[in-house]
Structure 1
Amino acid sequence: MSVLSTEDEGKYLMDIEAEQIGIVTQVDTDAQVAYVEPDPGIGEAVIQGFGFGDADEDDIEVPAETVETVTDTELRVAKDL
């Protein structure tokens, strides 16, 4: 299990096969859940990359216990979501 922080906002979420799932829009540090936009447009990806933006109704909830690895640019899950 990884510990998620607000510094993870704007990172890419990748699956076990290194396929991009989406981009982290928001992290709830208390609940340890990352909210991921599964198909961000170019503008939205840029906004999220700078750490600005919020989760919305179509975001995927990714609990910290499913995140295997956290790097400077991505979160990687150990299984398909």
Structure 2
Amino acid sequence: MLAFKVTTVGASAGFILTKEAMARLKVQKGDTVYLTEAPDGSYRLTPYDPDFERQMTLAEEIMHEDREILRALAK
């Protein structure tokens, strides 16, 4: 487990990711990370946008279900 101390960043509050934390999250300076709530009420810090992932899953399902229509439209 990694622990971080909340500190003042300008007029806001934030925390600094260590090199180890950045490596584990596979993020670099300037990347966006998301704090999401899990079903059990806990929170998760992730580099993946859960809304985008949900949209891509829906798009893949539509493309799979309607592949014949999409193939005809592509001609």
Q: Identify which of structures 1 and 2 has the higher relative contact order when contacts are C-alpha pairs closer than 8 Å and 6+ apart.
A: 1
TM-score when scaled to structure 2?
0.22
TM-score when scaled to structure 1?
0.21
* Larger Rg over CA atoms: 2
